[in-house]
Structures are given as C-alpha cells and as structure tokens.
Structure 1
Amino acid sequence: MKRIKYHLFHFVVCLLIFIGLIFVPFASETWAKTSSPCLSTLWPHEKSDLPPDPDLIFGKLSNGFRYVLMKNSEPRDRVSLRLNVQAGSLHETDDQQGLAHYLEHMMFNGSEHFPNGELVNYFQSIGMDFGADANAHTGFSETVYDVMLPKGDKQDVEKGLLVIHDYAAGALLSESEIDRERGIILAEKRDRNSVGYRTYVASMKFLFPGIRLNNRMPIGTEDIIRKADQAILKDYYDTWYRPENMILVMVGDVDTEMAESLIKSMFADIVPRATVRSCPEMGTIKNKGTRTFYHFEEEAGDTKTSVQVTWTTDPRPDSLAYEKAILTSYIADTILNNRLEAMTEKPDNPFTSASVYSGVFLGSLGYAKLAAKSAPENWKNVLGLLEQTLRQAIAFGFTASELERVKKDFLADLDKSVLKKDTRKSDELSSLIIDNLNDDKVFQSPEQEKELYGPFIKRLTPEQVHEAFVKVWDRDHRLVLVTGNARISGKDKTPEDTIQAVFDASAETQVKKPVAKQAIQFPYLPEPENPGPVRQQTELSDLGIEQIDFENGVRLNLKKTDFEKNEVIAVINFGFGKKTEPVPGLAMLADAVLSRSGLGNLTENELDRALAGKNTHVQFNIKENSFSLRGKAVSAEVPLLFQLLYAHLKDPGYRKEAHLLVMREFEQMYKKLSHTIEGAMELSGQRFLAGGDSRFGIPPYKDIRNLTLDQIRAWIDPVRNTPLEISVVGDFDPQLVKTLAARYFGSLPLQKKIREKKESLKFPTGKNLVLDVETSINRGMVLVAWPTEDFSDIHRVRRFSALGHVFSNRLREDIREDLGATYSQYAYNDSSRTYTGYGVFRSILFIDPQMSEKIIQEVKKIAADLTKKGITEDELRRAVDPVLTSIKDMMRTNRYWLDTVLNLSTRYPEQLDWCRSVRKDYASITAEDVSNLAKIYLNNKKATAIVIKPVTAERPSGGGTEGK
C-alpha cells in the first residue's frame, strides 16, 4: 500500500536516522549478480499484478532512458523535475569511496551548457532558490537531482530539461573545479560527524556483518576525497550515468504532451560512454543464536537499548499479495507501538520512549527492531521490559480492541488521502514516485489504494496480524544492543557478557496474556446550553476574511480556502506567553508537560484511543507572545475539532506522570546539548544576543529541575479566562464554524482583559563570546551579528529579508566556494514582534574551529564591502526573484493565512494590510534600498561575534547524509 507505505517509509527513515540504524536516505535496490543495470529496465507495474496510477504517463526512449510524467495543479504554474540516477555509493569500487557524492557536487560546477558559476546564477535569475528549488542528494543506491521550475511554459520547461540533460551527460569535471570543491566536501564530512554517526557505523558492522554497505558510506573516506581527480570521477560518471540507469520524473502544472515531445527530442542523443560494469553483490548475513553488542559514548545524552533481527532476502516483484503482507506486518508493529506509548505514561516505566518497526531496505536486507531510550542507569530494566514485551506479543498476539483501533486509523487515512488528492504538492508527488521506482514498487492513486486495501483491512483478524508479527521475528537469532552513555563494567565479565546475562535472566520471566481495554468516550464535557451573542461582524471581501466579535470579547477570524482539500486548521490564542514567564524555564517545561498530559479526564494515550479513526488533533503551545491551542482536522470533523479545543481550554491535564516523564527527557536532552555546538548556542548563545534575558534560548538545567506542576498551573490557569482570539482557515462551512464558535466559546463568561507590557532588550553591541564545548567532535561554529530593528515597519523588514538573501549568497560564493571553508552557511534578519526596537541580523557558519578568527574577518569583510559599495542589480534580482516565486506559492497555503495574516490580528491589525502589499512591495525593492540598509545597520563597530569550539578534537571526522 503506497500511501500507507509512504508514511511508513518516512517514519522508518526518520526513526532509523534518530536511533542510528541507518544514516542516509535509502532506496530499495534489486541486485543483479552479474550484469548491469542493477534494477530491471522494466517498469515495476510491468512485473506486477498491481495497476499503476492512471494519471501517470510512462515513456522509454530507444536508448533506454525512461521518464514519468504527471499533471498536477499545486503549486500553481510550478513544475517539479527530478533526475533519478539509479546508482549510489554501493556502486563504487574500493578506490572510489565517496565519489558518487563528490560527483553530485560537481554537477553544479560546470557543464556543457552552464559554465562554472552560471548554473546557480541561472536558477536564481528565473526565480528559483538554490537549496530549496534546486538541490540533490546521494544515497546508497541512488543519486537524485531536484529542480523546481517557477513556471511550466515551454521556454522554462525546455531550459529546465537542458539542466537535467547536463546532469545526465554534460558534466565538465574540470580539474580546477574538482580541487575547489574538495574543501567543501571535507567541510560537509566534518559537519556530518557526530556521536550518533560513530554509533551508527559501529552498530551497522555488528547488525550486518559482511554486507557491502558497511564499507560504502556515501560521504566516503577522507583519503580518497583528497586524492580524487578527473579520471576517477569520470570513470564513475561514465560507468553509471548510463541512459538505462536514469529516469526523469516530471510532475506539475504543465502540458504533458509538450513536455513529452521535448523529452524525446532532448534525451534521445544520450549514449553509454563506458562498457557495462557488473553490479556488486550485497553479501549474506549469517546471524545465529544470541549476540550482544556494547558501544559507549560519553557524550551521548541517553542510552539506547534494542532487540533486533536482521536477514538477507531475495528481491521480489511488487504484487497485491506482497503489499498485503507488508501492510499486515505494519499493522502489527503499530499495535505494539501503541502498547509502548501507553507504557511511557506509567511513573515507574524505565524508558522515556520506545518503538518497534520492521521491513526490507535496499531490496535484500530485512530488519526488525524493538528499541527504547532511557537514562543510563535504567538499561537493565529497559532490556528486560523489551524482551518480555516482545515475547508477550509473539506468545499471545493482539486483542480485538487493539486491532480495531488501528484499523480505524488506517481506514481514516485512506479516506483522507482520497479527499486530499487534488491538492497534493508536485514536489512531494515526484519524490514519492521516485521512492516507489527505486523500491521497485508500483505507484498507485489514493482511490486505487482505498479500493484494494480498505476491504482487506476491514477483514483482518487478530490471528492474521499475530501470524504476520511472528513470521517477521521467527529467526534463529537475537541481536541485543546497548549503546550510548551507559557505563557497563565488571571484574569478571565483559560488557557483552553482562548484557547477555540480563537478557537471559529476563527470558526466564513468565509473561501474561494482555488484557483487552475498555472503549473510551469523547467528548465527556457537557455542551454549553446557549450560544453567545455576536456584537459585530466585519467582512474583508478583498481578502476573503470574516471577523466575528462576540459580546464576551472572543474574536473569530475566518478564511475559507481551496488550497488544501479536506484540511481545516485552527488556533486559539490567549495571554502573552513566554514573555510573561515568572521564573526561568517555566515556559519550556509547561509547554512539554501540557503537551503530554492529555485532558483532565483522559491521559494522552486514552485520548488517542478515544479518537481512533479520526483525523483531528489539538496541541498546546507556548509562543513568545501568546499561549495557543492549535488544531487540525478534516472537513467532516470540524465539530470534533471545536469539542477538542473546548476540552483543552476548559479541562486541561496537569499530570504528575507527564511531569516526571518530561523531567527525565529533559535530563537526557541537557546531557546531549552540553556536548554539541548547537547545544551551546541554545544554552548560552541565544541568551547572550538578547542581553542575558533568561527567556531566550534554553535555560540552565539548574533552573529547570526544581520547577513544579503547581507552578505551571498557577501561571497558566488564570490566563485561560483572558480574551480569546480564534482563527480558522481551510476547507470548511463558514456557517457551521460560526455556530460552533458561538456555542463553545461565545458562551464563555465575559473575558477578563489584560494589557501587554511593553519591553525592550539590549543587544550586546561590540561584545564577543567564546563558548567551549566538551566534545571530541572537531567541529566549530561562528556567528557574527548586528543589531537591527523590530517588526513595526514591514517595509523595512522586507528589505532586511532581501539583505539576508544577498548576504547568504556572498557567504556561499566567498567562503564556501572560494575558500572551501564551510559546507553550511546562511544569513538572515530576525525582527522581534514582541520586544520594542529589538532585531538581530545573523550570519552563521559551521567551520573547522581552527579557522574561527579568519572566518570572522571574512564575514566582516563582506559586511564592510556591502556598506561601502552596496549591492549590484544582478545581486538584487538573484535575491528577490526567488522570494517573489516563494510568495506566490506561500499565498496559496493555509498556514500562511493562519500564521501570518489572521493569527493575533486582533493585537496587530496592521498585518491584514501587509498581505495586500507583500508582492508589490517585494517587487519594488531596489538595489539602493538594500544598499542603504546595509550602510546603516551592518556597522562592524556594532557587530558581535560568537565562537563555539570543541575543547578536544581527538577523533577523526565522520560523515552522513549527503546533499549539495
């Protein structure tokens, strides 16, 4: 099932990245033992009994080059182009490790039709943002190039296809550019290094012994990167960038007949440039019995404990039977995940989070994993609980009520996908198509999935789900891992022996059959009897906005849209949020605790059970200048959305169990933050830039650990009776929303008005801060900042935005590309909506810590040059035109209208006018405007610098997920 599989794919990828099983985007690969190409040149549906989405157009040229086209209307006018090269780091020889990724970088450094330096400039000149609209990534078995065209007319599509053609067959690979890019790749390798990466590499070798990918991390080896030259890069390029190894995917607001004609004329000339090379074999996993693994990382914030199985399997074509088997297994995992989630609410539970998942990646590597995160002293209890939870599921299976809950959720997801089909985003669709192609799976429409899998899900029995779960775990081995900051030592036993003993002792413990849980009802609060009267109603017809003011002071803002079919989002704002924090750290703690506390009568897990089969959620948040309840629903569940919002406002949960869990999570978080440069910025840097104000950044742990639940309640409960502002945007019936708002919120007692206290902050003009981080990761950060202004003048704020884009381009050109001193760099202005007169223009670079002073001088040199000479017209256009493109897209999103226009418009009514002028104002920005702003504000005498560097740098740099 592709849509559910898509959610599973991204859930698994994110989870695997987080816990260290896999570190790069993966795509399944069907491995041929002796011949190329590695994946079949047949389309997945040509080998399957599953029909593909009828909206897809498949084509294949005589040279073997393939393409997939799909007409899609969102975002308007835009077209997503992706070149999918079905080759990655696994295709490298021993002396090419890292060159698939190196080659990906080189595609932006000179090609047949775009000499060095021209490609990025071209992208920006037509309104594309490099990084957002033009990017690439390299994985184990794929290299994908992304281009998001701002228009779908023939001229733009033809030029976009010319770029793709150059990726496929026109790379110049000049020696001078190879040398220039080398420093950037080494900087990226340094950036990717982390405690998690070290753990990942060690764990992979244990989990997949003898498997090729263990020696094919896409970032490669430093020695090979330093020695790479034109000959060896060209060898990989010519060998694997073959027409039959490449698929062009085009999705968007485009004439597909015109596009197909252009593809046929432009790509038919690509020919193989080298002899066919055999695909490498993956290898075979040979695990047996119980094997244990221990990896200590002092700098880790927590300990991860897991029980796993891994195996090799033969690749198989996609089929209805196979998809049903995958779906059944996923449903089993989801049931067990629900059990684990419920366990975290128990005060004596030893872990802070846990999960189970299983599947096959790279076509032939199967895995199943039950894992949990905890404090280091709890690893023994965690391991025992995981072992017994797994054994209980294998022995007794799942209850009918557990299965029914998951069925409802899956069926609701199928329904939602059908209703939202027409407003799916083109870039998301093209990515999903490539995921399926590289996994050798058939891409299907939401209607097809609902028709095929809806009845199947309804018929599933607990016995069938149990059988699927047992089948996954029915292996002749168990792999038991303990990694992170747990110190395991003993005089007579190795750490691995100690782990084995704990696991064996747990296996002797008897497990009991799970007890079925009673159904839970929601809503439980009585409905208000009488709706509240309306005092005033205003219509802003040019914006499609309605404003309804109730007699009790509640404001309702409405904007009905067709941007996202079947989506409704809403937010209730009250009070002044973090700005009014009475003691340091209370806002961060309260936000986390209330988000995990459910409602007064229902725990978080109980509420999830009550809402099984629903697509409505509400979350409490504390923002800089307000408290908020944010909700999302499908159109048919708008009444439920209002019931949930009302329940969260009237009967919030303040649970001791949630407080205990959050405090344990915070302890782990602080340990991790104390050993990373990003953590140092949050713990100290942000507060420094705000003149030492405790409301900025993350407060010291000593300020957090003694805060109580009573302090949270005493701060937040009184402001729930202050004036409410409710904003609703999306695909809804306006009259229904008005009726519901009058019933639930217009009927509340007269709201108590409170005034906002005006405050200002002091920027540390001319001061510098050096932060030392206790870490063995040789990675540093430099931030150079200048004081600016608050948000009160939107005309000025927009020009600051343009200056940020110009500055970012200068950082990329001068420090990344010319010096090769950084991989990640950016600049932006942040003008405060809350604090009078406060704004900060920041430039941030991740660097070799030994280059800190040099980089600071280079950044200040850019600022000095901007203040003295200003910017050129070309720089202005390359900065502003991509913003104009993004504005066009942005204004067709519900989140823009909710968060930028309606949200808090009662306090800031001027923002309703801002949306009227945003396009015209950005288009009117001149080079003189931006140059004058730079001259006034980028004064190096007022600049401050923050340098964050490691205390030690004993270990070599590593690598990770790659992207240009």
Structure 2
Amino acid sequence: MIHFCTIGFTRSGAVRRLSAALAVFLLMGWWAPFVDTAASAATQLADPAGILQGESKGRAYQTWPHEKSDLEPDPAIRFGRLASGFRYVLMENNRPADRVSVHLYIGAGSLNETDAQQGIAHFLEHMLFNGSTHFPPGELVRYFQSIGMQFGNDANAHTGFDETVYDIILPTGDEESLKKGLLVVRDYAMGALLLEEEVKRESGVILSEMRSRDSVSYRTFKASLAFELGDHLISRRLPIGKAEIIKNADRALLKQFYDAWYRPDNMVLVLVGNFSTPMAERLIRTQFSDFAPRASAPAAPVLGTINHTGLKIFHHHEPEAGGTTVSLEVIRPLVTVPDSLALQRRELVAEMGDQIVQNRLDDRLKAPESPFTSAAVGSGSYLNRIRYAEISADSAADRWEQTLAVLEQTLRQARLHGFSETELARVKKDTLKMLENKVREAATRNSTALARGIVRDLSDDRVILSPLQEKEALAPMIHDITLAEVHQAFKENWPDDHRLVLVSGDADLKTISQKAPETLIRDAFLASASTVVHRPEVEAVGAFPYLPMPEDTGSIVSREVVDDLGITRIRFANGIRVNLKHTDYKTNEVLANLIFGQGQSAEPGGLPGLSLLAEATMDESGLGQMGSNELAQALAGKSTYVDFRITETHFNLFGETVSGEVELLFQLIYANLTDPGFREDALALARERLRREYGAFSRSIEGMMRIEGLRFLAGGDNRFGMPSLEQIQAVQLDDIRGWIAPRLNRAPLELSVVGDFDENQVIELARRYLAALPPRDQHVEEPVSDLPRLPSGTVKRIDVDTQIPKAMVVAAWQTEDFWDINRTRRLSVLADVFSERLRQRIREKLGASYSPYAFNRASRAYAGYGVFQAYINVAPEQTDTVLAEVNAIAGDLARNGITADELARAVDPILTSIKELRQTNGYWLNSVMTGSERHPQQLEWARSFQSDYAAVTTGELALLAATYLTDERSAAIIIQPMQKSGS
C-alpha cells in the first residue's frame, strides 16, 4: 500500500546544502517539514576532552520539558500521561474550522537501528500502511479517502535520525471522526501485521524510492556528512538505509525493531484542532489504556565521537552540480541542559549575532562583482548532541577562491571587531516586530502548523510557549542586550580550536594544479587569513518613504458591493480598479496583488528567458533611489514587503503586510510604480543565478524536463522551458526596461486586497496613492497570436549527461484552456482518478516508481491550450514498459470510464480541501479577485466551487476521458541517462 513518506535528513552544518538536497528528494511534494529549531551555540556546555561519548536516549523523554524548567508551558495545552508511559498533548484550535491535526511521535529513527537493521526504521514506517489489525493490506488508503481525506496531504509520515512521525489531518473534529482517526493511530502503535508477502512487495517500492532520491545533492550530502561526523553514528545511519538490507528484509527483522521501539513510553500523541478536549481525552484513554510494551526496552546505541582540532579541509567534486558551494564550519559536541529562561536569552543573543553577519553577507551579495550568488550564516544544535556554526556561499566553479576569501574575512572581521549599534538596533527592531506579530496572529494560527511546532519542541526537549509568553519573556531581554554580549556570543560560536573548510560541487580542483585539492584549499584559506581586516564602515540608513505624498486624491466613479461574497469593487476616474475583501481568516494578515499587462504570454519572441531575468532583476533592483539593501535597512522593524512577479497572464506587484502597516504597503506600491529600479548589478546577479541553475538542470533528469520537456509539450514555444546559456547572456537591461517600464507607466491597473484591514482606510489610501496617478491607457494589448500546441503523435527522447541511474517518463494529452470552468474542474477530478490508478498499477503492482502522479494544466493565457500529464520516475531499463502501462491506463479510462467508488474517493477529499481552502486569504486573492476585471466570471466560480465539484458524475468523466485520453491527442517524453561509449 502506498504512502508518501519522507525521510528527514536534517543535520548539523551545511544547512543550505541540506536544503538543496531536500528540494531534490521531495520533488513530488507531500512533505511536512520538521526542521530542528536552532538552539544556541552560546550554551555554556563543555566536554573537556572534546569528545562526545553519548548514548541516544530515545527521544520521547519521560518528563515533559516544562517539568524541569523555570518556564511555564502554554496554558491552552493539556498534557496527559497514561500509566504505561504513553503521553498525549491536546490543544483546541479552530483554524481551519472543523479539522483536527493528529500526529503520533515515536522517539526512534535510524540511529536506533543496529548494523543489521539499516533502513528498517523507514521500512517499518512504510509497512504500517500495508496492513494492520483493523485495516487489511490495500484498505488504509481507501479508508482515508472514504472519510474525505486526501492521501499524501492529509495522511503522511516521515522517518528521521531519531524520530518517526505519523500525520493524519482529520476532516472534522466530532466524536465519530476522532474515533476513526485514533483507530488508525492505535494500529500504527500496536497493530502492525507485517505480512511476509507485503514485506517482499514493499521492498521493491523502497528501492524505487532510494533510486528516486539519488541526486548530486544527496551524494554531496553523504560525502560531507562523513567528513564532518565521520566517527559519529549519524554518518553511518542515513534513514534510507542500505539496499542489500532492504532487499533481504523479512517480517522478523521488522518486528524486532517494531516491538523494541514502538512502545508506549517512547511515544507522544499530539492533537490540535476543532474538538472537545474532555471528549478527546476520554477517547485516547479508551484506545490506548491496554497498550503495553511487547518487548523489553533495548539498550540505547552509542552515538560515537566528535573531536575536531586544527584546520581540516574537504573537497568533493560533482561535475553535475551546476555550481560550487564553499563553507566554513565549526562542529563540536553538545551536552544538553534543560530549557530555561537563561538558555532562551543565550540563544537569542547568538541569533542576533548571526543575523547581523547575514545582513552583511546580503549587502556584499549586491555589491559589484560579488563572487557568490547566495550566502548564509547560522549556528545552533542538532539532535541535542551536536553544536555547530556555519557560514557558506554558492558561486561559479572558477570563483570558489574569491568566495572563500570573502567568507573567511567576513567571519574574522565579526570576531575581531564585533558589531555596531546601528546593526544591533536593526536586528532588535526586526525581532521585536516578529514577536509582536506572533501575538497578534495567535488567535488564527493553523492547527497543523501548531501541531508540528509542538512535535518539534518535544523532540528538542523545549518548553512549548504561547506567543504571548514568548513576547513577555523575550521582549524585555531584547532591550537589555548589549553589543558586548552579542560579540561574545558570536566568538563563542566560532572558537579558534578548529575550522572545517569545505568546497563541493563542480569545481574540479584536481585539474587546475599539480597540487592536491586539499592543499589548494588550505593555501587559499591561509592566504586570506593573513590579510588584515578592518572594522566595517557604518553607512547612514536612508528613510522611507522618500517620495512626497501625492497632493491630490482621485475620485470614485463606481462602487459595487457583492454581498454574498463580501467583496467591494471600486473604479476610479483614472481607470484603476480596486477589489477589497475583509476577512478574519488570519488576524493581522493583509495580502495584495496589483496586476497589469499580459505577462509572460506577451514576451517578445526574439528574447527567450526575458521573463525569468526580468522578474529576478526587478526584485533585486529595489527602487530607483533606494537599492534593495538600503530599503531593507530603512524598513527595519517592519513587516511589509512588495515583490515583482511575472505570470503567464500578467505582471504583478505582490504585497504582504500587517494590519498596522497598510499605508506602508501603499507607499511601497506607489514607489514601485513611479520610481522602479533597473540596476545592472541586479541583472548580473540574476543572470549568474540562472546560469548556475541551468548548469545543474542540464545534468539532471528532472532538470531536463524543466529545460526541454516543457518546451516540447508546448510545440517548441520559447515561452516554455528554460533558455540556453547564450540566450541568458543575450538579455540586456535595456530589454527589461523596454518591456516592463511602458506597461508599468501606462497599462490599466487592478489592485486586489484581502485580509484583516479597515475597508474605509484602504479606500482612502487607494484614492491617495493610486487614484491620483495619471489616467491609464485602456487600450488592451493585442491577443497572443502564436499559440502553443502539444505535438501529438510524437515521443521525444532526451538523453542526459548524468551518472545518476534513473529516468523519467512523461505521458501527455492535449486538452483545452482554463475558461470552461465546468470542464476544467472535471479534468482535475479525472487527473486524481488517473493518479490513483498509477499508484495501484505502477507502484503497487509493478513496484516501478515511488510516487507517480497525474494532473491537468489548463492555460489561462493561451486559447485552446491545456495538457493532461502523468509523471513517473523509473529505472532507465523500465521506461518503455512503464509508458506502455500508462497508455494502457489512459486507454482503459477512455473505453470504460470510471467507477462510482473511484469517483467518490477522488471527489470527497477535494470537497474537504475546498472547505479549508475557502478559509484562506490566498484563495480569495489569487483565484477570485485578481483578474476579475478581465474575467468577471471568477466571482461566479467562487459561488459554485463546492457544489460543482460535488455534482461531478461518472458519465461526465467518462466522456472527458473518451474525448481527450486518446492516441490522436497523446505525446510522450522519455528522459534517461546518456549511453556512454563502451557501456
């Protein structure tokens, strides 16, 4: 039985390399991040020998964090414990309405495996979806779908180094729904069948998952982990395990781990949502009162040692990386201490120092001829056993040495000279504003986000605080923190006893010198370390807004209230349209879209990639009189920003703010309209980032789908896919300015605002900042004449120069554009049915792919263009077999339609999702209001959203399948590794 699990690969150091790896691992979505909170490296801990001889405790500590702390937990939370040691955490919360987020936390992961069990913690996680006491094999997914849950989004799991977590998002919080959810949790905890035939079948699925997760990022991750933590068990216990153990696993091996670690005193059940606490507590006691250990408690594994001294060098060459990452790190053992107010202060001080250095790196990034394209600094703890600090940056292969010098000197400059009052003041403002916003937004927090935060805090042995408690505890500290404290904390993060220097990626240092790569890196580091660094100059902070406020206000020529949708629509005399919707979905949140022009669909044919470069260049340029770094400094302590975005159908200034800063939002929009920034340095940075991305994509299976596959599905249209390196280089700043500026100045504007705001205030601000602008040219740009078209009847094979042994099959069928909403919705349901058949036949029957899926992409920009697509990652030798199987699924749907059971299991989860989606500002902004001047039918679509999906019939889907899933409308892409000569 399928489930879309994830494997947690969080670790100390190389945080951004890890993020890149996860981005590849999790391409199929359905990932719920459980990232460790950054605990401070300033914690006063010591291991005199510099060696950690630790043991894993089993992370479900038997005392609550607050029971050994001077901090009190959130009073809204109910903590409970059964006689067996099984614990639970309950918190009532009504956003989204009705739903309940359920999570079973087991304090065991790959670190708890023996040498003979490597990969078994993750394997066991799979098996709990493949048969249990109340759910025979093949029934659990059907059960979830039958109660309105979307498998993957609403039911999932992940395995990490020291934890396994099962997630269930129930559609309602009544007693019957809770009973059903807790029945599943009970089976996770004590009801695994672990049938031998299911074990053998699932081993193939896990091997497929292992293949799908293989990537340049993952290989770099493994190599760097071995360097950083070579004598620690973490480096030898990656959760995916070893192929030979997975192939030969049997019931006995899995049950041994299950009985040893899935025990009541090693579990915590977390429920957050719209339910009654007394009822939930009663049901938990009913379900779990008889839960008892099935085996004696196992011995905790010895974790190993960390003992870095001096200067250590690491080089790892991955020619397919597309860029190079340079890092300086410190990794030390950490002895845990209970959470406390003093610990919170130490962490806060250390985070402030990191943020100041991050601001310096951001400034350096925008400077002319910066050698890197992104940079980050951070420190903290991992698994409550490892203490780390890291500063790293990404660069082109030939600029690694300059990048290393910038990092080394930035780090040394901060250690030697500390920080300025101006820098500290900026960070204090930002931190105080963050705390204030969390308090304002507390009443409408999302239940799943809350539950995952609780799981994370329990895993880290941290006291669970409410936003108000956090603010009351930390705000007074922030005012009192001194420069000396921050400087001292930063120096403690970066002691002089050792440095790890890592260079990984496509920099092939073996070919540029007769010296060994490690010698080259060492020489570069020591050369930089011999230079003098001076105290940085403190630049004056500019003021925003710098433009004078418009003297006049415009007049309203029409005002319409759409009562049933709660939307107010206004037109000003200068032609600007404003759509407003006040909501209480999330307190203190205000979102806005200001759209104009036709976006990417109107990209000039002779400049492929113009949209990609224009969007990034505009964002990095800031404003005409104030660059992005200056603007960030001027807005310290504020929570408002505006981004420039380009979609297929329009240009967009997207803004986000809080209730008390709505005028600032309008000031930023006004400045972007009247004084936009077009900077050469921003274009250079955008171009280099795109070149690096292209380099990585061109050597990966998934990346070549982005570069060539999407363009093929559009019949070679250059507005799809990615431009070549030559085309990237060809785009100049004048091209961007010439395309954007006229539309920014003259095109009709439509502003949509949704969220927690005062409507009268927003109307007056719109009159002041927008309605007084010169009249806009109401002439509508000519419709796009060249339309993309699927090249039906063709199969494109793309060979990729990669060492990663995996391939991709994409099957596609030409459908239609977006604007017949009845058809578009039903094609979406048909895609869910198709995905379910892919799961059953490609994953469950063949074991050929870990997470195949289908979707229909209906274009809003191009008349008549839509593509129904199925994506399947497979082994290279399976491509033709899998493509034939996918086509067989399509043929069967076209000939025989679908069953009522399939329809119900597709539609019921969609209806649950719609109820939740309609309680978000993003839905009303992006799906209903934005573009409603051009397409007023969107308002009617909002009215019919749920009822229309509920009305879908098997006959309608059968007709669509017969119409579109035909050979005459089909095309396919097979992407596979290039055959090497002699192979």
TM-score (norm 1): 0.96
The range that moved more, 354-363 or 934-943, is: 934-943
Mapping of residues 2-17 of structure 1, within 5 Å: 15-17=16-18
Q: Is the 8 A contact 1:539 1:545 kept in 2?
A: yes
Pairing partner for 2:699 from 675, 682, 685:
675
Please say if 1:867 is aligned against 2:894.
yes
Pairing partner for 2:185 from 164, 186, 197:
164
Pairing partner for 2:875 from 844, 848, 866:
848
CA deviation after TM superposition for structure 1 residue 308, in Å: 0.8
1:799 aligned partner, one-letter code: R
CA displacement 1:497-518 (0-9 Å, x = unmatched): 1111111111111110122221
CA deviation after TM superposition for structure 1 residue 701, in Å: 2.1
**Aligned-partner SS, 1:800:** helix
Distance 2:14 2:452 in 1: 14
Matched with 1:346 is 367
Q: Is the 8 A contact 1:13 1:25 kept in 2?
A: no
CA deviation after TM superposition for structure 1 residue 472, in Å: 1.1
Matched with 1:151 is 172
Matched with 2:3 is none
The range that moved more, 142-151 or 371-380, is: 371-380
**Aligned-partner SS, 2:194:** coil
1:802 aligned partner, one-letter code: V
CA deviation after TM superposition for structure 1 residue 869, in Å: 1.4
Tell me, which stretches of 5 or more residues in structure 1 are unaligned? 1-8, 957-964
Distance 1:525 1:953 in 2: 61
Distance 1:203 1:471 in 2: 24
Distance 1:10 1:89 in 2: 13
Matched with 1:837 is 864
Distance 2:507 2:118 in 1: 33
Please say if 1:858 is aligned against 2:882.
no
Matched with 2:582 is 560
Matched with 2:113 is 92
Matched with 2:307 is 286
CA deviation after TM superposition for structure 1 residue 175, in Å: 0.6
Please say if 1:663 is aligned against 2:687.
yes
Matched with 2:768 is 743
Mapping of residues 481-496 of structure 1, within 5 Å: 481-489=502-510, 492-496=514-518
Q: Is the 8 A contact 1:584 1:694 kept in 2?
A: yes
1:882 aligned partner, one-letter code: P
Distance 2:22 2:893 in 1: 46
Cα 1:11–1:926 shift into 2, 3 Å: farther
Please say if 1:295 is aligned against 2:316.
yes
Cα 1:80–1:176 shift into 2, 3 Å: same
Matched with 2:940 is 913
Matched with 2:549 is 527
The range that moved more, 930-939 or 407-416, is: 930-939
Matched with 1:312 is 333
Mapping of residues 206-217 of structure 1, within 5 Å: 206-217=227-238
Q: Is the 8 A contact 1:27 1:142 kept in 2?
A: no
Mapping of residues 159-558 of structure 1, within 5 Å: 159-489=180-510, 492-558=514-580
Matched with 2:6 is none
Distance 1:395 1:53 in 2: 41
Distance 1:462 1:820 in 2: 59
Distance 1:767 1:573 in 2: 37
CA displacement 1:230-258 (0-9 Å, x = unmatched): 00000000000010000000000001100
Matched with 1:734 is 759
Please say if 1:635 is aligned against 2:656.
no
CA deviation after TM superposition for structure 1 residue 519, in Å: 2.0
CA deviation after TM superposition for structure 1 residue 19, in Å: 5.8
CA deviation after TM superposition for structure 1 residue 736, in Å: 0.5
Number of equivalent positions:
947
Matched with 2:42 is none
Cα 1:12–1:754 shift into 2, 3 Å: farther
Cα 1:753–1:38 shift into 2, 3 Å: closer
CA deviation after TM superposition for structure 1 residue 492, in Å: 4.9
1:233 aligned partner, one-letter code: L
CA deviation after TM superposition for structure 1 residue 942, in Å: 2.2
Distance 1:847 1:793 in 2: 35
CA deviation after TM superposition for structure 1 residue 378, in Å: 0.9
Cα 1:11–1:274 shift into 2, 3 Å: closer
Mapping of residues 764-803 of structure 1, within 5 Å: 764-803=791-830
Distance 1:27 1:836 in 2: 47
Please say if 1:927 is aligned against 2:954.
yes
Q: Is the 8 A contact 2:12 2:387 kept in 1?
A: no
Q: Is the 8 A contact 2:34 2:452 kept in 1?
A: no
1:164 aligned partner, one-letter code: V
Distance 1:824 1:239 in 2: 30
The range that moved more, 15-24 or 317-326, is: 15-24
Q: Is the 8 A contact 1:778 1:952 kept in 2?
A: no
Distance 1:213 1:12 in 2: 13
1:692 aligned partner, one-letter code: G
**Aligned-partner SS, 1:411:** helix
Cα 1:527–1:941 shift into 2, 3 Å: same
Distance 2:21 2:932 in 1: 44
Distance 2:467 2:59 in 1: 30
CA deviation after TM superposition for structure 1 residue 491, in Å: 5.8
Distance 2:973 2:527 in 1: 51
Q: Is the 8 A contact 2:653 2:669 kept in 1?
A: yes
Matched with 2:87 is 66
Q: Is the 8 A contact 2:53 2:303 kept in 1?
A: no
Pairing partner for 2:924 from 883, 891, 897:
897
Distance 2:608 2:150 in 1: 39
Distance 2:244 2:495 in 1: 42
The range that moved more, 828-837 or 872-881, is: 828-837
Mapping of residues 2-41 of structure 1, within 5 Å: 15-18=16-19, 37=58, 39-41=60-62
Pairing partner for 1:114 from 119, 135, 139:
135
Distance 2:536 2:265 in 1: 53
Distance 1:752 1:713 in 2: 19
Cα 1:614–1:19 shift into 2, 3 Å: same
Matched with 1:575 is 597
Please say if 1:590 is aligned against 2:614.
yes
The range that moved more, 923-932 or 234-243, is: 923-932
The range that moved more, 674-683 or 904-913, is: 674-683
2:735 aligned partner, one-letter code: Q
1:18 aligned partner, one-letter code: S
Q: Is the 8 A contact 1:302 1:373 kept in 2?
A: yes
Please say if 1:710 is aligned against 2:734.
yes
2:665 aligned partner, one-letter code: L
Please say if 1:613 is aligned against 2:634.
no
CA deviation after TM superposition for structure 1 residue 17, in Å: 1.5
Distance 2:980 2:589 in 1: 49
Matched with 2:718 is 694
Matched with 1:623 is 647
CA deviation after TM superposition for structure 1 residue 779, in Å: 1.0
Q: Is the 8 A contact 1:347 1:661 kept in 2?
A: no
Answer 1 or 2: higher relative contact order, Cα 8 Å, separation at least 6: 1
CA displacement 1:515-534 (0-9 Å, x = unmatched): 22212100011111111111
Matched with 2:28 is none
Distance 1:732 1:679 in 2: 42
The range that moved more, 383-392 or 877-886, is: 383-392
**Aligned-partner SS, 2:730:** coil
Q: Is the 8 A contact 2:332 2:387 kept in 1?
A: yes
CA deviation after TM superposition for structure 1 residue 213, in Å: 0.6
1:611 aligned partner, one-letter code: L
Distance 1:522 1:35 in 2: 52
Matched with 2:48 is none
Matched with 2:29 is none
